[in-house]
Copies of this chain bind each other. A is one copy, B any other.
Amino acid sequence: MSQSPGDGAEADPLASWNDGRAKTAIVDFVARVTKAGGLDYVVPEKRIATFDNDGTLWVEQPYPSQIAFALDRVRAMAPQHPEWQGKEPFKSVLAGDVKSIFGGGLRALIEIVIATHSGMTTDEFEAEARAWIATTRHPKTNKLFTEMVFQPMLELLAYLRTNGFKTFIVSGGGIEFMRTFAELTYGVPPEQVIGSSGKLKFEIRDGEPVLTKLLEIDLIDDNVEKPAAIQKHIGRRPIAAFGNSDGDLEMLQWTTAGKGARFAMLVHHTDAAREWAYDRNAGIAKLDRAIDEANAKGWTVVDMKNDWRRVFP
């Protein structure tokens, strides 16, 4: 935490949060689990917090940035795939027909992601993704994608870590894609990023061991798979979980069903002026059953428009 020189008071670590129920709930929870000798005290090694990524830590509209990356990869890889010229959904991508691409639904998008995220080594993929994320701009705002992150959530991540939490990302996004920026952007190292993945094949190629990314899906890290992935990777139940859509519901259920103090939060996108406003009819980003359960169970729901003083850094 930084300190204003001379005044003796610490700066507010959650300065981009307006005073209100959401901020109070966060601060109260952290105070309870960190108060030595208190009833709700949690030892530091059990202070596990998990965060969804798309729509929770950064913008996911008009479509998740990994989709933008995959579409760019279709164009870059097209010379090696002449068959794509006559085959959907690739044909629509190459024709720049965005409406048809998204008309194909989640199935078409997954097909595009898999095709563009396999057939190379993990090192090759990482180099491509790093170059893309360092230079590509959001279609609406013309900012870098890594500038389209939510300042209040960056403060929350740092605030939790300052209070002894270990912060993890648990997202439907591709694990290797997210790892190319999560450390620099969020302060979350690769080993604390959990996401969707394909199978890997180890082989010795020209005397060098490589891991090749296969077409076969290993995990779609969403819904019921989020608690399972948390158990696999972390092996401990989180005490706090943060999401924004129905895909996060099971993670929040799993987190809050543990013993002792628990915290669950949903980011509700209510700010059409500064970001986007969407919920029950948002397709893959739908927030419907989860907000009903949040209201029924008293989980914290962030009203972006009113709870966030600032949205972007």
Contacts and interface: CB of A to CB of B under 8 A. Distances in A.
User: Which of A211, A218, A225, A254: most chain B Cβ within 10 A?
Assistant: A211
Contact of A202 (B190, B228, B235): B228
Interface in A244-272: 250, 253-254, 257
Nearest to A213: B231
A234 B183 CA distance: 13
Contact of A232 (B166, B197, B235): B197
A253 B199 CA distance: 20
Interface residues of A, number: 38
A227 B254 contact: no
A14 interface: no
B190 A211 contact: no
A256 B236 CA distance: 31
Interface in A178-209: 179, 183, 189-193, 197, 199-204, 208-209
A120 interface: no
A231 B191 contact: no
B175 A235 contact: yes
A207 to B, nearest CB: 9
Nearest to A191: B234
A279 to B, nearest CB: 23
Contacts of A236: 189-191
Contacts of A232: 175, 197, 200, 218
B227 A202 contact: yes
Nearest to A200: B228
Interface string A206-227: 0011010000001000001101
A289 interface: no
A52 interface: no
Interface in A152-179: 166, 175-176, 179
B257 A231 contact: no
Contact of A231 (B211, B234, B235): B211
6 contacts: A166-B191, A191-B235, A200-B227, A200-B231, A202-B254, A233-B233
